[in-house]
Amino acid sequence: MTAQGEMIAEGPVETIEPEYFVFANNNEYLRGFASAANAIAMDLGAVKGGVQEKGPIGLQVMGATWGLVQCKVPSSSLSGLGIKVAVLDTGFDIGHPDFIGRSFTTETFVGQPVQDMHGHGTHTIGTACGPKEPSGDTPRYGIAYECQIFVGKVLSNAGSGSTAGVLAGMNWAIANGCEVISMSLGSSAPVQTAYTKAGSIALDKGCLIIAAAGNDGSCTGSPANSPTIMSVASLDQTLTPSDFSNDGKIEIAAPGRDVFSSMPSPRLHGIMSGTSMATPHVAGCAALWAQSSSTLRGMNLWERLQSSALRLNFPLCKVGSGLVQAP
């Protein structure tokens, strides 16, 4: 690769980098290398099943989830109307009854239908874009309930993908003018030029990419470690950093432990934990801020999210500017 890089130094190719596997950044679905290897094996057809750890089925709360309450979402008068939110993940359960009447723009980058057979994507979309008033006694779990939803399937039904697929999804979201792009995925790779470049282009075009910091208790993973992508850490219900949440390059924090949201049928709802769950809280609040003013786009939106965050008594490397707040 070094030799190739030297050969094309004067050509049209800007950089040559390794291709990395990326995974759903969720503490419930992916714990350690063994699960990562298992997901790859599933994608390659070597095995027909895998270990998937799922959280509790129910959560007894009234009105709204604890995460939305801490982010001041229920008191906001904004809905995300007119804002495009792209969630790049494992797809979505398009027939979910809580989303009847909502329109979706979808695309797959993994050679599988957009329909979510994993659950991670449906859960993250539920938090960022879910309904204001779910049916029955289900608590409110969604933030930008009137935004335009863009579903980019960049992770397979086993929860894994590649750098190329993620970049293709990012380009698709940017080309569609999505003001907010949420990515609850990552790897332990170092900063990658391609992600940094994509993040820079997004900011220049008025889009903001928000990504999960990772869940192995180490340094912020890729692509969240890129300087042009906003990195999100996870908080527990006591507003302390989650023990699994990575630190280092962290811009902001959000609820990530025991988060209730949508799941594919027939389950419909469930609880997950991870920086994956924190990221859509920030994405949803970003959509509300974007709706509040046409000037809050790209870097202006990034800065507003940070300046309005609730300060927490923890190092910046663990929580960044603090807990994200809705306008």
Catalytic: which of 118, 120, 123, 269? 120
Q: What pLDDT shows up at residue 56? A: 36
* Catalytic option among 43, 89, 93, 258: 89
Looking at residue 36, its pLDDT comes to 42
Residues 292-322 pLDDT 10s? 999 999 999 999 999 999 999 999 999 999 9
* Band of residue 201 on the pLDDT scale cut at 50, 70, 90: very high
Q: Right CATH number for 17-43+52-319 from 3.40.50.200, 3.60.110.10, 3.40.50.10490, 3.40.190.150?
A: 3.40.50.200
Q: How far is 12 from 275, CA to CA, in rounded Å?
A: 37
Cα 81–chain centre separation: 20
pTM, two decimals, is 0.87
CA distance 319 to 250: 6
How much is the pLDDT for 220?
97
User: Would the pLDDT of 200 be above 90?
Assistant: yes
Instruction: Look at residue 15 in the predicted model and tell me its pLDDT.
Output: 66
Q: Is 13 exposed, middle or buried (0-12, 13-18, 19+ CB in 10 A)?
A: exposed
Three-state SS at 4? helix
Q: Kind and range of the H or E element at 290?
A: helix 275-292
Active site residue 276: yes
**Number of helical H runs and strand E runs in the chain:** 9, 12
Question: Would you say 117 and 157 are in contact if contact means Cβ atoms under 8 Å apart?
Answer: yes
Active site residue 247: no
> Count of residues for the chain?
327
Q: Which of 160, 187, 276, 321 is catalytic?
A: 276
Our answer to whether residue 269 is catalytic in this structure is no
The pLDDT value given to residue 11: 61
Domain assignments of the chain as residue spans, ordered by start: 17-43+52-319
In tens, the pLDDT along 43-97 reads 544 333 322 333 333 343 459 999 999 999 999 999 999 999 999 999 999 999 9
